[in-house]
Structure 1
């Protein structure tokens, strides 16, 4: 039997019909959602208002100006809109390097904390960037609590509600030898309607370098509490000890943070000079083996620097033994003070990395209010249109896939040329229309028994025996 001609074509037509039908249905259902509600009924009300308005407004024309004037006056005289103030507070930690640095591991972290302290601003966006000193590189960063980072540009963006706090953690690698180099990093941030804010950070080493022959230490100045930020003075004590076996020439260099000036030098400084704006050198002269020199330096902290406390500085110590090269050590000091009355410092501890990747920078933070779906109190029809179209496309895809599979199964069946005609043999029986059954063929015997022939030649066969042939040869 032959396969029906045009079978795949008929299925294709059916598939096309279903796709067209589903598309038409999706457009029909999407049209009411996309159209403005009451769009066709909005025209009759305006047409009726003008017809009834003239007779009503003609009579009180003289009273309208007098009645409108007092009602509009109070609304314009007393503005009750709240004053919008854009402001933020930022705190930056130092890059603290652990003891593993002296064994070749320079991994550390920088933590940036931002808080939205504006008033009547709702959600506000704080943007910023950070710069590292020479020999220090950022290897990665992540943000939490509404902050996103751009590792390529070393920048961040925090979308925060009022009083909300966001954090940015920057992974840092400090190269070997950086402990000998001066220099601080900085973080700059800004928000619309407020001036930029810059905070400096230092590379701090928790332990001293393992350099035998010299010992160096510095005190940690503590400023007294004040009610308002103001300039204050402090004292720092530096100790240099020669732990070698011979005397050596000793000197120290003080590096002060921004806003802190070195104002006085001790008498043990034989000479002192200013190397840079924030770096001063004091030379002690010869230091005998095992001797320790203590020197006190006076510092002045400006009012601007007082707001940014704590601040970190560095002391570098040098000792040149007789007949040997100069050896160097380093000690860090931190100037701290109680917070100004009414202020609370932001915590700079590093939060754990988020499990889910943060949203791309520049995206609007979702406050959970569904503002992206509402417009002037009306639900947008775009999601419904997209959903209906997507459902129709999915339905069409499933129909086409099912038809293609069914057509493929039809092709796999044998064609009409490959199918053999089946010949039906009627069963035997009594009657002229029925054919008798064929007798079963006997099985082939395993061995055949032929009749034995009589001895001698058969008459007419021309067969001659061996004796007759021998007699003929003899007669010849």
Structure 2
């Protein structure tokens, strides 16, 4: 019965402790609510009254004071800024000079190689660096075999085109290697080069000039006077003088054909022409009739040149002459004429057309290492079999060296000795020599030199041409015995 009373007492103590703890905590939290005055330490519990002032309500009949309008401020005008100057307008322009493809006397010996030089200068304004692109076309009988550029120009021979990246006032040159066929001098015409920068374009002719062919029995001369000076290119006219002479021994029927460069036309014929006709757009034929041996016929042909062609001077044309003696083959010759004029007033001098030195050739490693067929001088192809045979021989020689080395190593491994056999070594023999000094015999020693190195070894059988017989065969006796 004591146990329950003890538990009850414990619970009461706990409850009392909890109540005491709660009271102490409430006192501690409530203490900051009261403040001590700065004077003595007495506490004042009287509440502090806050004075209140009443604001009178406005009389509804009282008029409100007039409100003044805010002062108006005028915004200052915006600062005047000048517009930036517009960039200068670029003007794309260039100058181009084309040389003549001149064939020397070597052409009549079969050498038709020559050069064509094109000089281009960037004369544009406010363009910086411009690129001139163009292409070229040669007449039938002439081919381009190579080319190179200088001063920023490049040539694409296979594509018949070129390009020049030139700064302002800079000049570049293009050099084309040209070959003319042996019989092309009779029918060849002018070529053409076209170049452009954007909308600006220039077209120039390509002329071919030949020396007089070494043809006996005929003589031809032509001449064209220089055109007068002018301030600007205009349409002009001039006279072309032609003189044909029969240097053969018989009379012959003569004729001439006038070939004009682009922009030049034949407009009048001399009275020496019995008849004339146009063969092509740039070729006219004049029949002169019979020309006696040692006689000549001359005449002046009227030519007209356009202003565009006048700006491209000098130009080259040609005159072909024919003599047909009765019963003989026709004789043909050629003589070129040049149309010249002073430079236009105020124009710049023509660009130089001397060929610049070619760049050094760069060897291509791929082409040097590749085995390919090359053409010989007679048109045949050189075979690659000698190269293959040399490679096979080197491989075989290397194989022989390898086999010999392996065999020697196998001998050493198996214990074989390369020394001579016992029967191949000659023993040392002491041979007494009598008759020496003082009657004493001298003994001379012989060196043990291998017999195989001093004397050849005889075969085991009988030797042809000797009287010796093999030991196995019994000696034969003569029939007399």
**Offset of 1:158 from its aligned partner?**
0.5
Distance 2:123 2:240 in 1: 35
TM-score normalized by the length of structure 2: 0.58
Kept in 1: contact 2:242–2:298 (CA 8 A) = yes
Q: Which runs of 4+ in 1 moved over 2 A?
A: 61-64, 354-357
**Offset of 1:67 from its aligned partner?**
2.3
Please tell me the root mean square deviation across aligned C-alpha atoms, in Å.
1.6
Q: What residue in structure 1 maps to residue 285 of structure 2? A: 281
Q: What residue in structure 1 maps to residue 266 of structure 2? A: 262
**Offset of 1:346 from its aligned partner?**
1.2
The one of 184, 190, 193 equivalent to 1:184 is 190
Rg comparison, structure with higher value: 2
The C-alpha deviation readout for 1:168-226, integer Å capped at 9, x for no partner, is 0000111110000131111111112x332111111111x21121111111113310101
The structure, 1 or 2, with the larger RCO (C-alpha pairs under 8 Å, 6+ apart) is 1
Question: Runs of 5+ in structure 1 lacking a partner?
Answer: 1-60, 358-476
Q: What residue in structure 2 maps to residue 195 of structure 1? A: 200
TM alignment of 1:15-54, pairs within 5 A: none
The one of 135, 138, 156 equivalent to 2:141 is 135
Q: What residue in structure 2 maps to residue 355 of structure 1? A: 360
Q: What residue in structure 1 maps to residue 166 of structure 2? A: 160
Kept in 2: contact 1:316–1:331 (CA 8 A) = yes
TM alignment of 1:292-371, pairs within 5 A: 292-343=296-347, 344-355=349-360
Distance 1:353 1:342 in 2: 34
Distance 1:303 1:287 in 2: 38
Question: Runs of 5+ in structure 2 lacking a partner?
Answer: 1-72, 363-481
Kept in 2: contact 1:182–1:255 (CA 8 A) = no
How many pairs does the alignment contain?
A: 289
Q: What residue in structure 2 maps to residue 104 of structure 1? A: 110
Q: What residue in structure 1 maps to residue 83 of structure 2? A: 75
Cα 1:286–1:356 change in 2 (3 A) is closer
Instruction: Pick the structure with more helix per residue.
Output: 1
- SS of residue paired to 1:75: coil
Q: What residue in structure 2 maps to residue 247 of structure 1? A: 251
Distance 1:261 1:196 in 2: 24
TM-score normalized by the length of structure 1: 0.59
The C-alpha deviation readout for 1:93-140, integer Å capped at 9, x for no partner, is 111011111001111000011010100001110011111111111110
The C-alpha deviation readout for 1:438-457, integer Å capped at 9, x for no partner, is xxxxxxxxxxxxxxxxxxxx
- SS of residue paired to 2:78: helix
Cα 1:353–1:63 change in 2 (3 A) is farther
Distance 1:134 1:266 in 2: 31
**Offset of 1:297 from its aligned partner?**
0.6
Distance 1:63 1:311 in 2: 75
